[in-house]
Amino acid sequence: MKLNIAVLPGDGIGPEIVAQAQKVMDAVAVKYNHEIVYTNALVGATAIDKVGNPYPDETHEVCMNSDAVLFGAIGDPKYDNDPKAKVRPEQGLLAMRKKLGLYANIRPVTTFPSLLDKSPLRLDIVEGADFVVVRELTGGIYFGEKGRSEDLKKAFDTCTYTTEEIERILKLAFSYAGKRDKRLTVIDKANVLATSRLWRETAQGMEADYKDIEVDYMFVDNAAMQLIQWPKKFDVMVTENMFGDIISDEASVITGSLGLLPSASVGVHTSVFEPIHGSYPQAAGKDIANPIATVLSAAMLLESLDLLEEAKAVRDAVNQSLDAGVVTEDIAKDDNVSKTSEVGDWLANCI
Amino acid sequence: MKLNIAVLPGDGIGPEIVAQAQKVMDAVAVKYNHEIVYTNALVGATAIDKVGNPYPDETHEVCMNSDAVLFGAIGDPKYDNDPKAKVRPEQGLLAMRKKLGLYANIRPVTTFPSLLDKSPLRLDIVEGADFVVVRELTGGIYFGEKGRSEDLKKAFDTCTYTTEEIERILKLAFSYAGKRDKRLTVIDKANVLATSRLWRETAQGMEADYKDIEVDYMFVDNAAMQLIQWPKKFDVMVTENMFGDIISDEASVITGSLGLLPSASVGVHTSVFEPIHGSYPQAAGKDIANPIATVLSAAMLLESLDLLEEAKAVRDAVNQSLDAGVVTEDIAKDDNVSKTSEVGDWLANCI
Ligand SMILES: CC(C)[C@H](C(=O)O)[C@@H](O)C(=O)O
Ligand SMILES: CC(C)[C@H](C(=O)O)[C@@H](O)C(=O)O
């Protein structure tokens, strides 16, 4: 099979970690007889610095022509905490989501036994947690009309959702649940918001089509509590954009393995695979960043192209590296610390 | 001093727990020579059942004429999970907030040493956490224009904020920080929302007036993570209505003492004091509910009327009951379990 992969390394540690994922994918290509063509493109602060736009048209073209996008991370301190800055890296991210129609962000949250002692939760609470957060990514208050009154003393944001938008992501969530433990939690604020009531009605209307899935509904404030109290009770959670931003980030820290968690943003035109963690600028260029989350994102990428055996080989390699203690300093148990590039080499070798 | 207290017991365990807080306040009145006049009024499902309205006009009158409102809890399973029900208990809550101008919800989150083993967080992470969440309560997406398109296939909610609304609550938050560790975290989503940018600009503009307060700004997704990872780093957090709903509920479970946490909703006309926990219908009428959160809400009530010594006496009594193990079954360490009414009697005796 021939794969066209767009590679958007982005800022900070992005280039280093993406390079390791490519090494691993190259090893997969050799072993399973695929051809991978990579096309690099600019995104984020790097793109602002070079061409004045965090998601340039050329980058969009590269993505549109790809089977999948491998993404690093974006964000640079010089643009942080400055809500008034004219162009910000995040705008590139939002433009990319909208233009590629990346309507669903998928975040599997799993625990790694060797990392459980890094969890802020008690072992008995978190051990064995294994769920997926499905976040709507191109609608809601992120993309609704927004602005300021003329005297600047009043601001507004609008959250909108259509039945179609809601059905599309719920279908995806139901299908994830179908492949897992067959339980779906729809998170909303239907006791307050009109959009949430539309979400709930739409989901209720779809229940009959998925008789094997057990659906429950939870208010977002309650979900924020239960995620900490009983993370093991969840299988698939699905929610709108803003709630998903909060809930999926909350979910990502409970296992202590934030640095290892991958994500997929499923799109209409192509899909984007990236680690959950940020661009970690302090570590950039030092060959110390943990590449595992990006490597596992590559596994999700392979899976999305139905290369299931290949994806499994990548996951197995990751588990072996963790068992063997071939890891970067952030998760090392002793003085035995590997560099970013060494972990990448080791994983590629394992394939 | 003569105190006019509106008493709104509400649903479920509401009447039982409020009765204990009244016992304690009565003991305070005797000891410190005050006169307390209580006026009871209907709210919640009870009010729907009796007069068809979860926040009847008569109740509003009683509140308007009070120095403070002591509130139990509302919510009845028969109205739950039915977003289409015509009248719901929550609507009473929202109407009360709006009509009484309860613009700020204050939730102190403290740890109780004897309860730390109930926390879902690791002891070293949570021990010593002590912060206050200040949530805006009468604005934002809760009260903005909302609705459905004619064909019912599209819904919208509007979030609005004015400089005045933001300044009012920030003032309160700054003043709380001034009385505590002088650190204020403003939580928003200024990288996405116009209303959040107004919040951030307004807060930045006020910094000069509060030179002794260290202010930092945090995106809500980041706050949802840090609250679990480093709860001890926070002193006062302030945020808008919807974010506050999620963040304050998340905050309330990290210490393992949800059943003990009080709250105040500060208003333009009067203020409302109530436990954070809900109406716990399964326990209603059994004399087993934990009255501590309501008793501590009464302490906040006394404080709000500048009865500081009186408030301290109530808190001291609570600490003594915890030390002595005079507690309800939910937090009992052994077979030594007290009834709701027994805890109330013991506390009143302690004053
Ligand atoms: C950077 C920001 C706009 C973005 C979001 O809120 O979606 C980020 O927090 C994320 O979750 O990818
Ligand atoms: C019942 C509901 C409307 C309410 C809210 O969202 O404000 C509740 O969750 C709360 O926090 O008091």
**More confident call, B294 vs B117:** B294
Band of residue B20 on the pLDDT scale cut at 50, 70, 90: very high
Say if residues B187 and B148 touch (Cβ distance below 8 Å): no
The Å distance, Cα B160 to ligand 2 centre, comes to: 18
Mean pLDDT for B67-91 is: 83
C-alpha–C-alpha distance, residues B151 and B164, integer Å: 37
Of B121, B141, B191, the CB nearest to A121: B121
SS3 content of chain B, % helix, strand, coil (to 5): 50, 20, 30
Structure tokens belonging to residue B270? 């009067």
Which residue ranges of A are tagged as binding site for substrate?
97, 107, 135, 221
Give B104-164 as a DSSP string.
EEEEEEE--GGGGGG-SB-HHHHTT-EEEEEEE-SSGGGTS-EEE-TTSSEEEEEEEEEHH
Domain shared by A142 and A223, yes or no: yes
Please give the C-alpha separations between residue B5 and each of B67, B72, B101, B271, B302, in angstroms, as whole numbers. Answer: 6, 13, 17, 10, 11
CATH code at position A284:
3.40.718.10
Which of these three, B241, B267, B293, is where a domain ends?
B267
Mean pLDDT for A215-221 is: 97
Domain shared by B90 and B12, yes or no: yes
Give A294-339 as a DSSP string.
HHHHHHHHHHHTT-HHHHHHHHHHHHHHHHHT---GGG-SSS----
The range of the structural domain enclosing residue A164 comes to 106-262
Please list every residue in chain B whose beta carbon sits closer than 8 Å to the beta carbon of residue A87: none
**Nearest ligand (C-alpha, residue A44):** 1
Nearest C-alpha neighbor of B38 from the set B60, B70, B12: B70
Q: What is the pLDDT of residue B29?
A: 98
pLDDT of residue B184 exceeding 80, the answer is yes
Which residue ranges of A are tagged as binding site?
97, 107, 135, 221, 245, 249
Q: Is the pTM of this model over 0.75?
A: yes
Phi, psi of B94 (to 5 degrees): -65, -40
3-class DSSP assignment, residue B319: helix
Domain shared by A328 and A272, yes or no: yes
Domain shared by A194 and A148, yes or no: yes
Mean pLDDT for B104-110 is: 97
Q: What is the pLDDT of residue A284?
A: 96
Residue nearest to atom 12 of ligand 2 (CA): B245
On average, the pLDDT of chain B sits at: 95
pLDDT of residue A80 exceeding 80, the answer is no
**Nearest ligand (C-alpha, residue B107):** 2
Q: Is A342 in the pocket of ligand 1 (CB under 6 A)?
A: no
Within a 10 A sphere around the Cβ of B161, how many other Cβ atoms? 27
pLDDT > 90: percent of chain B: 91
**More confident call, A214 vs A112:** A214
Band of residue A322 on the pLDDT scale cut at 50, 70, 90: very high
Residues β-bridged to residue B135: B105, B239
Say if residues B298 and B70 touch (Cβ distance below 8 Å): yes
Q: What is the pLDDT of residue B89?
A: 85
Band of residue A81 on the pLDDT scale cut at 50, 70, 90: low
Q: Which long-range contacts (CB under 8 A, 24 or more apart) does B220-223 make?
A: B220/A245, B220/A246, B220/B187, B220/B188, B220/B189, B220/B246, B220/B247, B221/A245, B221/A246, B221/A249, B221/B189, B222/A249, B223/B185, B223/B187, B223/B247
Domain shared by A95 and A124, yes or no: no
C-alpha–C-alpha distance, residues A285 and A49, integer Å: 18
Of ligand 2's atoms, which has the minimum distance to the CA of residue B245? 11
Q: Crossing angle, helix A241-253 and helix B241-253, to 10 degrees?
A: 20
Nearest C-alpha neighbor of B135 from the set B108, B156, B160: B108
Residue type, A38: Y
Residue nearest to atom 5 of ligand 1 (CA): A245
Domain shared by A221 and A200, yes or no: yes
Please list every residue in chain A whose beta carbon sits closer than 8 Å to the beta carbon of residue B97: none
Give, as one character, the DSSP assignment of residue A197: H
Please list every residue in chain B whose beta carbon sits closer than 8 Å to the beta carbon of residue A195: 146, 155-157
Domain shared by A142 and A77, yes or no: no
On average, the pLDDT of chain A sits at: 95
C-alpha–C-alpha distance, residues B185 and B236, integer Å: 6
Domain shared by B110 and B236, yes or no: yes
Residue nearest to atom 7 of ligand 1 (CA): A245
A168-191: pLDDT as tens digits: 999 999 999 999 999 999 999 999
Mean pLDDT for B103-109 is: 97
Nearest C-alpha neighbor of B298 from the set B21, B14, B79: B21
C-alpha–C-alpha distance, residues A240 and A161, integer Å: 9
Band of residue B83 on the pLDDT scale cut at 50, 70, 90: low
Domain shared by B198 and B284, yes or no: no
pLDDT of residue B6 exceeding 60, the answer is yes
Place of tokens 């596992």: A296
Q: What is the pLDDT of residue A273?
A: 98
Q: What is the pLDDT of residue B61?
A: 98
Please list every residue in chain A whose beta carbon sits closer than 8 Å to the beta carbon of residue B193: 141, 146, 157
Exposed, middle or buried, B159 (CB in 10 Å: 0-12/13-18/19+)? buried
Band of residue B82 on the pLDDT scale cut at 50, 70, 90: low
The Å distance, Cα B245 to ligand 2 centre, comes to: 7
Domain shared by B202 and B302, yes or no: no
Q: What is the pLDDT of residue B84?
A: 63
Band of residue A83 on the pLDDT scale cut at 50, 70, 90: low
Mean pLDDT for B210-217 is: 97
Best mutation target, A150, A168, A192, to test chain B (most B CBs within 10 A): A192
What amino acid positions of B are annotated as catalytic residues? 142, 189, 221, 245, 249
Q: What is the pLDDT of residue B87?
A: 82
Say if residues A68 and A302 touch (Cβ distance below 8 Å): no
Mean pLDDT for A99-128 is: 94
pLDDT of residue B80 exceeding 70, the answer is no
Residue nearest to atom 3 of ligand 2 (CA): B90
- Interface contact flag, A245 B189, Cβ < 8 Å: yes
Residues β-bridged to residue B3: B36
Q: How many domains does chain B have?
A: 2
A-B CB pairs within 8 A amount to 169
Which of these three, B232, B249, B267, is where a domain ends?
B267
C-alpha–C-alpha distance, residues B319 and B335, integer Å: 20
The Å distance, Cα A247 to ligand 1 centre, comes to: 12
B121-148: pLDDT as tens digits: 999 999 999 999 999 999 999 999 999 9
The distance of B2 to chain A (nearest Cα, Å) reads: 38
- H-type alpha helices, chain A: 14-32, 45-51, 57-64, 89-99, 123-126, 163-179, 194-206, 220-229, 241-253, 292-304, 308-324, 340-350
Minimum Cα–Cα distance from B89: chain A residue: A191
The distance of B309 to chain A (nearest Cα, Å) reads: 34
Please list every residue in chain A whose beta carbon sits closer than 8 Å to the beta carbon of residue B144: 156
Domain shared by B114 and B261, yes or no: yes
Domain shared by B2 and B134, yes or no: no
pLDDT of residue B242 exceeding 90, the answer is yes
Of ligand 1's atoms, which has the minimum distance to the CA of residue A245? 11
Which of these three, B223, B238, B267, is where a domain ends?
B267
Mean pLDDT for A224-252 is: 97
Structure tokens belonging to residue A24? 């691993």
